[in-house]
Structure 1
Amino acid sequence: MNRVRLIIFNAAIGPLDYKVPDGMSVEYGSVVVAPLGPRQIIGIVWEEDRLPGESVAESKLRNIIEVLPVPPLKGDLRRLIEWTADYYCASLVAVARMVIASGGALRGPTKMTEYRLTGTEPERMTPQRAVALDALQNEQATIRELAELASVSDGVLRGLVNQGALEPVEVDIDRPYPRAKADHDQPELSADQEKVADRFVEAVKAREFVPFLLDGVTGSGKTEVYFEPVAAALRDNRQVLVLLPEIALTEAFLRRFEDRFGAAPIVWHSSLKSTERRRAWRAIASGHAQVVVGARSALFLPYANLGLIVVDEAHEISFKQDDGVRYNARDVAVMRARFEKFPIILASATPALESLQMAESGIYERNELPSRFGGATMPSIATINLTENPPERGRWIAPELVEALKDRLEKGEQSLLFLNRRGYAPLTLCRNCGFRFQCNNCSAWLVEHRFSRRLACHHCGHEEEPPETCPECGEPECLVACGPGVERIADEVAEILPEARIAVATSDTLNTPEKAADFVAQAEAKAIDVIVGTQLVTKGFHFPELTLVGVIDADLGLEGGDLRAAERTYQQVAQVAGRAGRGSKPGEVFIQTRHPTEPVIAALEAGDRDAFYTAETEARRSAGAPPFGRWAAIIVSSEDEAEAKEAARAIGGTRPNIQDVMILGPAPAPMALLRGRYRYRLLINARRSAQVQDIIRNWLGTLDFPRGVRVSIDVDPYSFV
């Protein structure tokens, strides 16, 4: 090729043509450096006939500067980028950026300098130096990364280097990872497990696209089953990707993986240091990485020879990205497997309704594990009607559940209390004047966190210290916490069971893989009697001594108008109930509710999943909701409320009138102010046959908006705030 068309990493500029200088070799997918004005930018060589744009005369073309030393992006990956951009109404550049997720990895093999503690005390100790020395035990990273870990400035650490307390270490960034062995420790599988595993292995060996739904009850050994096709891929020198919904699940999974395969997999998530990210990216692109375990962003990495994807807890809504490119990793993973022709396994005890419908229609192949492994039985489930058996005044745990907690503590068994609400209380107000603490940037109440003595917004991250007096009336000692969060439930347990050892498990307390691993180790060592947690504890954890689960407020998820509220509530409660009785001892679950006859609550108590899904399916069918209809949202936002409102009205005023398509709004979003931006929403409901993406593109393509207005599109939305 003597000329090429590039997609360049500048979202404001479309594809550009460049000349290939003599002696330079490029191919489709090559990652290159090209000039743009006085700057140099990164671009990817793309097929000219797949990108819009007029051909420029060769005499006007500028030369590509260099081809970067990384493998070209394969054709199948380029098709996935195009499909994702088209389906989710995103720019090609925004999707391609997720593939080139480590700028440092684009240069060749290199060494770099990291720093670690020497054990030497600095001659002059300052408070900040003391903080750094305490925080950086067993850490090795660049100065900037260490400064972030210790929450000090770079200058503090450079002072420690000068004092001999930190020493430089030269690191080979691209050093190889330990190799996993397919036959390191093969488990004994039950007959049901072996049958399913054999089918998965068969598909891996055949190198054929088969979307599997692994539908197994909690504790049925789904992980051990899908480890068998992982082993088959390793024997065939193919790469494997395992997607997990939460970083907190990673450490427990890594240990299980290492026990089975003799070496840890490669990890990919947002908390990686830049050197770790660079090393992992290059190993993946070169094919040296065998198994990658990661969050949703791991899906777009440029695997050299991918042969299997596993999406664990495939029902989880955290696989849906809520900003930037608003993609669903579960669905895009299926498309990647289809483009590259290998099997994919969607594993869940409570599959998404869409996945079950795909299995019902024969598009997915459903494989079931109907019973728990090793003879363990499913827990008994009972509801506690809070209108008839309320907790004591000022408390949130009903007497029946209190007695069960005391019984488990006496027996030396563990209990888990679930409430999907972080912090101490969702609302703090003044009992004198009624003032409520609200976020300055969002239309949300500030949540009290007593462990860290702060009022926090869970939407934008704003924090402030609780004041001594009411900001409105100046009255001292008048602030009242309203409603329970997990911290308040933990305090109540401490009052009821003063001798109990209590752990609070939320994204605030288990915010690093190390903290999550320490929590798991303590629970397995029986150093915890009662776990109080949010949705973080509903999945992935296996504690054999945990025999009691209490759901503090099962009605919480049914509030707020979420169109998937019933399904999500069923999944969360069923998953947390599944933590009980996973060992030899039977489990018991109590669900506290004010609406015991609500279909989702009744189905949970009866243990009748099929009845719930059948009723929910018919409700969705009659409403034209997914999977029988389609949803898309248009979100308009601006820092100027009038500007956002006017832009939303302009969109609403030009709405197309198309049969089988209903457009609702514009209306203020439920979260009308978010991170300092005023928000309006339009919701589109259409039949499956409607070309929703084309309708939206043609509709919005005729409109111009002020620079301060952002218009984003959410296809198949999961969040309606």
Structure 2
Amino acid sequence: MAAAPPPSHAFGSSSGLPTTGGQRVPVLLPMPFAGPFDYKAPASMALQPGDIVTVPLGNRRETGVVWDASSTLPPDLARPPSGKTVADNRLRAVADRLELPPLNAELRRFVDWVAAYTLSPPGMVLAMTLRLHMKGAAPTPATGWVAQPVAPAELRITPARQKVLTLMQDDTPRTTTDIASAAGVSAGVVKGLADAGALRPVLLEPERPFAQPDPMHQPPVLEGAQQEAATALRQSVQNRCFSVTLLEGVTGSGKTEIYLEAIAACLEQGQQALILLPEIALSAQWMDRFARRFGVRPAVWHSEIGQKARRLTWLGAADGSARVVVGARSALFLPFCNPGLIIVDEEHESLFKQEEGVIYNARDMAVVRGRLAGFPVVVVSATPSLETLANAEAGRYQRLVLPTRHGGASLPQTHLLDMREAPPPRGLFLSPKLVEDIAETLAREEQAMLFLNRRGYAPLTLCRTCGHRMECPHCTAWLVEHRNRHVLTCHYCDHTEPMPPVCPSCKSEHSLTAIGPGIERITEEARQLFPDARILVMSSDTLGGPAATAEAVAKIARREVDLIIGTQIVAKGWHFPHLTLVGIVDADLGLGGADLRAGERTIQLLHQVAGRAGRASAPGRVILQSFSPEHPVMQALLSGNFDAFMEQEAEQRRPGFWPPYGRLAALIISADTPQAADEAAAQFGRMAPYGEGIQVLGPAPAPLAVLRGRHRRRLLLRTWRNIAVQPILHRWLGMVQLSRHVRVEVDIDPVSFL
């Protein structure tokens, strides 16, 4: 729950915001408080909403934003009033206004909306916009040097000095470092010339790291359905009003090239575009496509870029010099000064959902930002989520469909292998039929892929003597063996320990055995079966970041790889023209458990993986190893009828008003002890809301009942679609008094049910 504010402040409650100094102003801080604090604006400081300021908080100074005095939120999202008004004479004064671009009204409304919808402190949403690296003033112009028109008469000329003077004859301002590097001299030579009066200082232009993309650089040749879709997207951008369009197309249909035309239309109108990708570290081919189309690379925003790059991108978004930004979900909170388009690529991906801190779905919040600011949003997928399909069916979203692959390539043929009838040899995991097909593919000098969405060597290690299972001491999860590193790891809390030489329970030696396959085990088997094949493993354990991923993709494109073995990373839209065979080792993985979306997620993932095959002239094949070939997901993959499966999925959810035909919110109660978690969960259960169209399920232990040492209980609030859950949750949360050791996490529209 949000912390209480310091007693010398008040949450914003003033009736109007001053434009002259000496009056009360609300300031929102990027901290988990329930609202802005009121401060006094000095008489010399005329503050406006959006100004970035520093203010005293306790005995330190913090950076915040002058906020709006009144809310524009709809009634069902408005928060109950909190806090007391502090007298003017007790208010502390704003310390300073920073020389940074202010946050515009559209972004401030968006921050308020996201906070209210997700039941998060607005300051924590602001923190995603006002990152720590933005604290302080904007960068000042650097000092450079130009040559004096006439050198001082007493200047002593040495060979090194002559090199500098010759270089500087073009009157181009340069920094000391640039001059020394270009002339091949030391920085001391440059400083000596400056001290002697031969060079004079000048202020350099601010750094402009973003080259401007050219919408006419290399337009594609589009025909038929592609041209119609591109024209429709261009028109939606030119209309300059809010709309949402689903761009749906089979894998390899050219969806990226088509939505790049919408970006071109946005650039032609002088506006900015944002492209959200589920995993920016995997965007090597996407960046190359963008550069071919527009002549330059876009600005990039994700967690792995350095602080300087983040600062420059933030400022570039705010001043408009960053015309196109591609980023992970957090890029949604950049302060664009003139946004005209958001693209959400692979919109079905669960990675767009942030599961910690402010819990939000970037796909859905992108639609909200487009609606608040009045510009179009395009969501893109070969396997759209049921939520998006329902919005298209209801007419809330437009829908553009590309039914065929680009360039005449055909969709791959899919084959099911019933592992009950054709099992692999004992202790192995690849069926003889799949092994034979891989061998034939490699003999034709084509590339093959094996897919298993499980990291490590084995998901479970147990003792053959006593049956002891190696479990995480902090989570209700098995430890995964990583044989390459000789460790056992929990993939939920990252606890790691060495592989023990004896069973921790019965002390038997050489009794611990690996159960089930992980990608390392499949790689070991493949190396034995295909000793001459050049094998590349693609997983988060082997690819350390964007550079390593780009190099791996380049090796595949150069045909330096025969067999690719990968986890879900290989499903991310790669174009490998020489890949003709995809083998899915365990197609049933992910279908078990009580996850509402298990079937939907599995068919999306496997469909995307299968789509890597046969994307050029050579036909592709997909082989699914399954112990449940009769399962609807397997039959849908076999027939290629994704739409029919999703219609069946929709029919199963409608009667119980499960999402997207109803609303869902999860309460996760966690505590240090199981007793405290049970007691708090029971309190919420006793106070559970009720009424027509409202149902509460639980409390019950969460599927992951212990996570990072905290015991977890879960309740689910389910309502009809026309009932807003936020007012219900506000009342419900206010009825329960919790001890300081208990935490409640609210997840609106949950994607994960762990």
- Shared fold (TM-score, shorter chain, > 0.5): yes
- Residue 493 (structure 1) aligns with: 526
Quick one: which of 690, 695, 698 aligns to 2:728?
A: 695
Q: Say yes or no: does 1:6 pair with 2:27.
A: yes
Query: Which secondary structure state, in structure 2, belongs to the residue aligned with residue 444 of structure 1?
Result: coil
Q: Is the 8 A contact 2:29 2:126 kept in 1?
A: no
Quick one: which of 255, 260, 280 aligns to 1:247?
A: 280
Q: Is the 8 A contact 1:109 1:174 kept in 2?
A: no
Amino acid at match of 1:84: V
**1:61-85 CA distances to partner (integer Å, 9 max, x unpaired)?**
2211111222221111111112111
Q: Say yes or no: does 1:604 pair with 2:637.
A: yes
- Quote how far apart the aligned CAs of 1:544 are: 0.4
Deviates more, 1:268-277 or 1:322-331: 268-277
Q: Say yes or no: does 1:40 pair with 2:70.
A: no
Cα distance in 1 for residues equivalent to 2:621 and 2:690:
54
Query: Which secondary structure state, in structure 1, belongs to the residue aligned with residue 654 of structure 2?
Result: helix
- Residue 159 (structure 2) aligns with: none
Cα distance in 1 for residues equivalent to 2:472 and 2:389:
40
Cα distance in 1 for residues equivalent to 2:567 and 2:594:
20
- Residue 146 (structure 1) aligns with: none
- Quote how far apart the aligned CAs of 1:294 are: 0.6
- Residue 221 (structure 2) aligns with: 188
Cα distance in 2 for residues equivalent to 1:378 and 1:44:
52
- Residue 466 (structure 1) aligns with: 499
Query: Which secondary structure state, in structure 2, belongs to the residue aligned with residue 464 of structure 1?
Result: strand
- Residue 98 (structure 1) aligns with: 128
- Residue 303 (structure 2) aligns with: 270
Amino acid at match of 2:604: Q
Amino acid at match of 1:276: A
Unaligned runs of 5+ in 2: 1-17, 72-78, 143-203
- Quote how far apart the aligned CAs of 1:15 are: 2.5
Q: Is the 8 A contact 1:634 1:682 kept in 2?
A: yes
- Quote how far apart the aligned CAs of 1:400 are: 1.3
Is the alpha carbon distance of 1:223 and 1:60 closer, same or farther for their aligned partners in structure 2, counting shifts above 3 Å?
Answer: same
Q: Is the 8 A contact 1:102 1:277 kept in 2?
A: no
Quick one: which of 92, 97, 106 aligns to 1:76?
A: 106
Q: Is the 8 A contact 1:320 1:326 kept in 2?
A: yes
- Quote how far apart the aligned CAs of 1:106 are: 4.5
Q: Say yes or no: does 1:62 pair with 2:92.
A: yes
Amino acid at match of 2:104: K
Quick one: which of 432, 436, 441 aligns to 1:403?
A: 436
Is the alpha carbon distance of 1:475 and 1:602 closer, same or farther for their aligned partners in structure 2, counting shifts above 3 Å?
Answer: same
- Quote how far apart the aligned CAs of 1:626 are: 0.8
**1:243-281 CA distances to partner (integer Å, 9 max, x unpaired)?**
000133222211221122111111111112112211111
Cα distance in 1 for residues equivalent to 2:741 and 2:493:
19
How does the TM-score come out when normalised to structure 1?
0.90
Deviates more, 1:664-673 or 1:60-69: 60-69
- Residue 49 (structure 1) aligns with: 70
Quick one: which of 495, 508, 522 aligns to 2:555?
A: 522
Is the alpha carbon distance of 1:12 and 1:357 closer, same or farther for their aligned partners in structure 2, counting shifts above 3 Å?
Answer: closer
Query: Which secondary structure state, in structure 1, belongs to the residue aligned with residue 242 of structure 2?
Result: coil
Cα distance in 2 for residues equivalent to 1:478 and 1:111:
67
Match runs of 1:129-144 below 5 Å: none
Q: Say yes or no: does 1:627 pair with 2:660.
A: yes
Q: Is the 8 A contact 2:106 2:372 kept in 1?
A: yes
Q: Say yes or no: does 1:329 pair with 2:362.
A: yes
Query: Which secondary structure state, in structure 2, belongs to the residue aligned with residue 336 of structure 1?
Result: helix
Cα distance in 2 for residues equivalent to 1:476 and 1:526:
45
Q: Say yes or no: does 1:87 pair with 2:117.
A: yes
- Residue 383 (structure 1) aligns with: 416
Is the alpha carbon distance of 1:537 and 1:179 closer, same or farther for their aligned partners in structure 2, counting shifts above 3 Å?
Answer: same
**1:178-207 CA distances to partner (integer Å, 9 max, x unpaired)?**
222212222222222111111111121221
Quick one: which of 32, 37, 49 aligns to 1:16?
A: 37
Is the alpha carbon distance of 1:376 and 1:13 closer, same or farther for their aligned partners in structure 2, counting shifts above 3 Å?
Answer: closer
Q: Is the 8 A contact 2:665 2:717 kept in 1?
A: yes
Q: Is the 8 A contact 1:248 1:511 kept in 2?
A: no
Q: Say yes or no: does 1:204 pair with 2:218.
A: no
Q: Is the 8 A contact 2:602 2:633 kept in 1?
A: yes
Quick one: which of 261, 267, 271 aligns to 1:228?
A: 261
Quick one: which of 108, 115, 119 aligns to 2:138?
A: 108
Amino acid at match of 1:192: A
Q: Say yes or no: does 1:27 pair with 2:48.
A: yes
**1:16-75 CA distances to partner (integer Å, 9 max, x unpaired)?**
211111121211121211112322122222222228455433222221111122222111
Deviates more, 1:503-512 or 1:559-568: 503-512
Amino acid at match of 1:177: F
Q: Is the 8 A contact 1:105 1:281 kept in 2?
A: no
- Residue 369 (structure 1) aligns with: 402
Deviates more, 1:553-562 or 1:31-40: 31-40
- Residue 671 (structure 2) aligns with: 638
Q: Is the 8 A contact 2:36 2:67 kept in 1?
A: no
- Quote how far apart the aligned CAs of 1:175 are: 4.1
Cα distance in 1 for residues equivalent to 2:733 and 2:89:
36
- Residue 593 (structure 1) aligns with: 626
Q: Say yes or no: does 1:392 pair with 2:425.
A: yes
Calculate percent identity across the aligned residue pairs: 48
Amino acid at match of 1:10: M
Cα distance in 2 for residues equivalent to 1:353 and 1:101:
34
Q: Is the 8 A contact 1:501 1:530 kept in 2?
A: yes
Amino acid at match of 1:668: P
Query: Which secondary structure state, in structure 1, belongs to the residue aligned with residue 378 of structure 2?
Result: strand
- Quote how far apart the aligned CAs of 1:173 are: 9.1
**1:116-168 CA distances to partner (integer Å, 9 max, x unpaired)?**
xxxxxxxxxxxxxxxxxxxxxxxxxxxxxxxxxxxxxxxxxxxxxxxxxxxxx
Q: Is the 8 A contact 2:302 2:327 kept in 1?
A: yes
Q: Say yes or no: does 1:560 pair with 2:593.
A: yes
Query: Which secondary structure state, in structure 1, belongs to the residue aligned with residue 283 of structure 2?
Result: helix
Amino acid at match of 1:72: P
Quick one: which of 317, 321, 329 aligns to 1:284?
A: 317
- Residue 259 (structure 1) aligns with: 292
Cα distance in 2 for residues equivalent to 1:338 and 1:390:
53
Is the alpha carbon distance of 1:173 and 1:418 closer, same or farther for their aligned partners in structure 2, counting shifts above 3 Å?
Answer: farther
Cα distance in 1 for residues equivalent to 2:236 and 2:277:
22
- Residue 718 (structure 1) aligns with: 751
Cα distance in 2 for residues equivalent to 1:426 and 1:580:
28
- Residue 482 (structure 1) aligns with: 515
Q: Is the 8 A contact 1:422 1:486 kept in 2?
A: yes
Q: Is the 8 A contact 1:546 1:581 kept in 2?
A: yes
Q: Is the 8 A contact 1:569 1:600 kept in 2?
A: yes
Cα distance in 2 for residues equivalent to 1:500 and 1:713:
49
Q: Is the 8 A contact 1:105 1:279 kept in 2?
A: no
Amino acid at match of 1:578: G
Match runs of 1:282-321 below 5 Å: 282-321=315-354
Amino acid at match of 2:685: G
- Residue 511 (structure 1) aligns with: 544
How does the TM-score come out when normalised to structure 2?
0.86
**1:345-400 CA distances to partner (integer Å, 9 max, x unpaired)?**
10100000110111111110001111000000000011111111111111111111
Query: Which secondary structure state, in structure 2, belongs to the residue aligned with residue 452 of structure 1?
Result: coil
Amino acid at match of 1:16: F
Quick one: which of 697, 700, 703 aligns to 1:664?
A: 697
Deviates more, 1:93-102 or 1:441-450: 93-102
**1:404-455 CA distances to partner (integer Å, 9 max, x unpaired)?**
1001010011111111111110011122222211111111111011222221
Higher gyration radius (CA): 2
Q: CA RMSD in A?
A: 1.7
